Amino acid sequence: MSQPFRLNKEGLINRNKKISFTFNGKKLFGYEGDTIASALIANGIHLVGRSFKYHRPRGFFGAGVEEPNAKLQVEFNGHSEPNVNATEMELVEGLSATSQNCWPSVNFDVGAINNFLKMFFPAGFYYKTFMWPKSFWYKIYEPFIRKAAGLGVASIEKDKERYEHKFEYCDLLVTGSGPSGLASAYAAAKNGAKVILAEDKPRFGGTLLTDDVSIDNLSGKDWAEKIITELKSMPNVTVKNRSQVFGYYDHNMLVMFERVSDHLEKKSKFTPRQRLWYIRAKETILSTGSIERPIVFGNNDTPGIFLSAAAKEYMKVYGVLVGKKPLIFTNNDSAYETALEFKKNNVEPIILDTREEHSSELIDEAKSKGIDIRFSHGVIVANGYKKVKSAKIGKLNKDKNSFEKIETVDCDCICVSGFWTPSVHLASQSGNKLKYEEKIDAFIPDKKKQHETSVGAANGSFTLEESLKNGFENGSNLSAKITDTKTEITIPNVNEKKYGAHDKLWCMPLPKNENPKRFVDFQNDVSVSDIEIALREGYRSIEHVKRYTTLGMATDQGRTSNLNGLQLVSNIENKIVPEVGHTTFRPPFTPITIGTIVGREVGMEYMPTRKTPMHEWHKKNNAVFVDAGAWKRPRYYKQGNETLFEASKREAKNVRENVGICDVTTLGKIDIKGPDAAEFLNRVYTNAWMKLPVGKARYGLMLREDGIVMDDGTTTRISENHYHMTTTTAQAANVLSHLEYYLQIVWPELNVNVVSTTEQWAGAAIAGPKSRDMLSKLYPDLDVSNDTLPFMGYKEADFFGVPSRIFRISFSGELAYEINVKSDHGMFMWEKMMDVGKEFGNQPYGTEALSTLRIEMGHVAGPELDGRTIPSDVSLNGLVSKKKDFIGKNSLGREAFNVESRQKIVGLIPIDRKSSIPEGSHIVQDQNGKLPNPKLGHVSSSCWSVENNNPFSLAIMKDGKNMIGKKFFAVSPLKNKSIEVEVISSHYVDPEGKRVRS
């Protein structure tokens, strides 16, 4: 096996370690340190994909994040990932890559017919073609477009990899380890600042790895290595490679994506694949460098056409030639370095320079090396379908709008350079309004918006000397402000080649009668003519042109296309680029995996799990759990093959006939203390609280200021200035914030303190006609008679050696008690209850039975208190005091709250006494009524009444009690059910409430 395009010596790869991989099924190898791209190019493979719209053959264009074409489906470490950038993904043993967007294969692609039908694919094609008929969209257009134009295929397997999040704080975050970044980090580190230096690539140094420069008599690469080694040895510095800072958010929060182990063959189970860093930096240095932009010409998307700096990087970093017969096509001096590099490796390039003949350090050097330079020349159109074979080149006239001479030259690659575009994405994301810099035909950051400072090429300084100076100074000054230390640093001597001025030409004219495709945006297949059409059709704003043509909207964010697109628009519009403006830069700068965003918040870690102290008992006794917020609550205790329905019926029936116990630990509990506690409760609740004696509980209702019921629960007066409030499980947190709001802001004069004690108490309800008998066995020394512990009574007593609180309150409508002990004693209490309760036929019951019991009693809960009901809607107006003021009282007088026909609570039973009514059903007069069928109300809660042995529901219905006795239909299109129902009272069982007082 040989690699025809691999150089013998050059590069930073490890030639001692071969790595096998496959591409489209073909077995190949590369070396440690290769990317997929460099390994494929070394093997002479350039055709890697098909373009998005026209399915034109596409090859590599860049060598890093700027790559618009080479997005592959890659399988490695047991997972398959789409849209992987081949120029960034490092080669690992066993990796297998395949081309996307081609069928049946990249070499023979059926979709390529689109290329010959291109009149059907102009700008706005999607908007125009697939609009009508509307019904075609889902069945025909969309599936077709997806299949034909899709990028990669997302895996439907569970992602087994581990992803992590990390929160970090630092004085200075440096984004990019090129010369200016290294200098900034170094200067700040020397001042004692806490520094994070982030480099997107595996290797530190940026352009120092590829540019022919020296710093303090060291080569650029060696100097970078020296600085990095020193930075790594400093305790105040964190140095990270493979780490892309992709987003700049509010208050100097930056987010970084670290590829921790994708490049590793083996890793420990606990090594994350990728890590997301949330970095709060006091100051940020944006040393993100610049990206070369192409010159637009005919068929400029043919495989074998590269950015010239990428071609140089392939030689200098990977020891790979992108071709052996290169054409260097440039409007500036930097591409001469690529030509010289080819020459150094014994490859003869031809330079086509759009500028007129002149002299500069680099041009002179190229001339002295005998390189063929043709001034006032450029590529008109590339020839070759799957790979460039030759190019039609032309000598430009003085105005550069036509040709004096046209000829064809053979070549196997074209390395193009249209000058440099600063990477201003992060600066722009920070809120920095960019400004257009005429000198470089590009945008650079303007006035600071947050604490961001752009340095080096990212700020439009393209010389090493300037970049270093810029870096050292800013790193030193910014950090000195934070650390109050300033260490003198001598700026090193630099040896670099001086560049001459660049030419503003960015798009080659076409000879008469020739009209090849000239692409501006490769990834989204947007050509010059597409943009021309958009403008012809009246799109003016650059944001609209972008959306209509999809220019710059692909995953590469138009890194190589934005400015050329702007140039084109401004040319046609006869404006200058800054008048056209630029589109918005949005995070992420590079695509990141969903796994990284999610981090560890999957499965059990998706949210915290709250368990009651009795959880293990429930588990052991076949409880089936249900989520109540973060809590796990037993829904029912399964016996044998019971269904939910059977088990909950059994449990509820046992409460009505004997006694049951229920874990009510999850109820919100708030301790309220202070001399003004009674006054506070009196304002918070709708009913009167000033006269509640010590040792008594009361049911209370609280409203929002708009009169809507917020929550209900019992509050007990433990002692003179001490109350124990309970809230529903769901509203516990909101009620606490609500109380704190009034105490801290509205009535700070009230001397009251509130604190959540939900976690401090374990609670168990004992409910059923035999509950008193059971209670007397639990408290043999206590008088629990109806006289001493009446309904709404409270006692503190010793429970087999542990202190406990006994509340005589009931949610089930039965004679019932609630016992609270400290959480640590919860399990002890529960087991004792199960033991003592045996002789009374005690059974545990879950939330399903709990619901059944409360529904048939007509007790309202969450489904009725749904944020739309006022007290009278749910028959709780008896609890609304007319005498005193309270939160929300003034709203109850609103006209809409007092109309007779308002929807109010009622009970429903099916006429056939058999069909369960689905919750959420709508109540209508005529089940076959014409749509829109007037809705009279909805079913809020449904159960099987164990008392009456038939279904029963609560509903919120227009005209409420006035409808009692009438028949309607409960319709549920979701369940495809329509059930005839009769309206009855919402209090289906024990309407007088005798049992709770028995």
Partner 1 sequence: MLYIKCPYCGLRAQKEFSYGGDATVKRPNINEEVSNEDWDNFVYMRKSPRGKHIELWQHIAGCRQWIKVQRDTATHEIFQTAKVTEEIR
Using CB under 8 A as the criterion, which residues of the chain lie in contact with partner 1 when the complex forms? 167, 249-253, 278, 280, 431, 683, 705-706, 733, 737, 740-741, 744-748, 884-886, 890-891, 893
Round to whole Å and give the CA distance between 617 and 621: 6
Closer residue to partner 1 in complex, CB, 693/893: 893
Closer residue to partner 1 in complex, CB, 498/894: 894
- Pairing outcome for strands 413-417 and 326-330: parallel
Round to whole Å and give the CA distance between 489 and 187: 7
Q: Which residues contact 222 (CB under 8 A, 6 or more apart)?
A: none
Instruction: Compute the least distance from the CB of residue 579 to partner 1, in Å.
Output: 25
Closer residue to partner 1 in complex, CB, 423/731: 731
Closer residue to partner 1 in complex, CB, 674/769: 674
Helix (H, G, I), strand (E, B) or coil at 834: helix
Instruction: Compute the least distance from the CB of residue 739 to partner 1, in Å.
Output: 11
Closer residue to partner 1 in complex, CB, 127/167: 167
Instruction: Compute the least distance from the CB of residue 477 to partner 1, in Å.
Output: 23
Round to whole Å and give the CA distance between 150 and 827: 57
Closer residue to partner 1 in complex, CB, 673/884: 884
* Eight-state DSSP code of residue 988: -
Instruction: Compute the least distance from the CB of residue 252 to partner 1, in Å.
Output: 8
Instruction: Compute the least distance from the CB of residue 733 to partner 1, in Å.
Output: 8
Closer residue to partner 1 in complex, CB, 144/169: 169
Could you please report the per-residue DSSP string of 532-554?
Answer: HHHHHTT--SHHHHHHHHTTT-S
Could you please report the per-residue DSSP string of 448-497?
Answer: -SSSEEE-GGGGT--SHHHHHHHHHHHHHHHHHHHHS-----PPPPEE-P
Instruction: Compute the least distance from the CB of residue 719 to partner 1, in Å.
Output: 24
Instruction: Compute the least distance from the CB of residue 777 to partner 1, in Å.
Output: 42
What are the angstrom distances between the C-alpha of 508 and each of 327, 440, 519, 837, 891? 16, 19, 12, 92, 72
In 3D space, the residue among 20, 1, 42, 13 whose CA is nearest the CA of residue 92 turns out to be 20
Could you please report the per-residue DSSP string of 32-89?
Answer: ET-BHHHHHHHTT----EE-TTT--EE----SSTT-SS-EEEEEETTEEEEEEETTTS
- Pairing outcome for strands 14-23 and 95-99: parallel
Structural contact between residues 462 and 420, judged by C-beta atoms closer than 8 angstroms: yes
Closer residue to partner 1 in complex, CB, 76/680: 680
Q: Which residues contact 628 (CB under 8 A, 6 or more apart)?
A: 666, 729, 730, 847
Instruction: Compute the least distance from the CB of residue 601 to partner 1, in Å.
Output: 13
Closer residue to partner 1 in complex, CB, 251/398: 251
* Eight-state DSSP code of residue 873: G
Closer residue to partner 1 in complex, CB, 497/683: 683
- Pairing outcome for strands 519-521 and 494-495: unpaired
Instruction: Compute the least distance from the CB of residue 426 to partner 1, in Å.
Output: 16
Closer residue to partner 1 in complex, CB, 545/754: 754
Instruction: Compute the least distance from the CB of residue 988 to partner 1, in Å.
Output: 36
Closer residue to partner 1 in complex, CB, 708/957: 708
Closer residue to partner 1 in complex, CB, 646/706: 706
In 3D space, the residue among 132, 69, 970, 183 whose CA is nearest the CA of residue 524 turns out to be 69
Instruction: Compute the least distance from the CB of residue 756 to partner 1, in Å.
Output: 9
C-alpha dihedral sign at 265, 271, 273, 276: negative
The CA angle 839-844-846, to the nearest 5 degrees, is 160
The DSSP element (H or E) to which 136 belongs, if any, is helix 136-136
In 3D space, the residue among 506, 566, 511 whose CA is nearest the CA of residue 542 turns out to be 566
**What one-letter code names the amino acid at 148?**
A
Q: Which residue has the tokens 């509205």?
A: 746
Instruction: Compute the least distance from the CB of residue 357 to partner 1, in Å.
Output: 52
Could you please report the per-residue DSSP string of 389-443?
Answer: -EEEEEEE-TTSSSEEEEEEEE-SEEEEE--EEE--HHHHHTTPPEEEEGGGTEE
Instruction: Compute the least distance from the CB of residue 250 to partner 1, in Å.
Output: 5
Instruction: Compute the least distance from the CB of residue 253 to partner 1, in Å.
Output: 5
Instruction: Compute the least distance from the CB of residue 709 to partner 1, in Å.
Output: 15
Structural contact between residues 301 and 522, judged by C-beta atoms closer than 8 angstroms: yes
Round to whole Å and give the CA distance between 637 and 649: 11
Helices (H), 721-812: 732-741, 771-778
What are the angstrom distances between the C-alpha of 982 and each of 142, 863, 922? 47, 20, 14
Residue 628 CB-half CA count within 13 A? 24
Closer residue to partner 1 in complex, CB, 574/744: 744
Instruction: Compute the least distance from the CB of residue 893 to partner 1, in Å.
Output: 8
Instruction: Compute the least distance from the CB of residue 249 to partner 1, in Å.
Output: 6
Round to whole Å and give the CA distance between 174 and 289: 12
Instruction: Compute the least distance from the CB of residue 691 to partner 1, in Å.
Output: 17
Contacts 24+ apart (CB under 8 A), 225-232: 227/182, 227/185, 227/186, 228/177, 228/182, 228/204, 230/186, 231/182, 231/185, 231/186, 231/189, 231/195, 231/197
The DSSP element (H or E) to which 253 belongs, if any, is strand 253-259
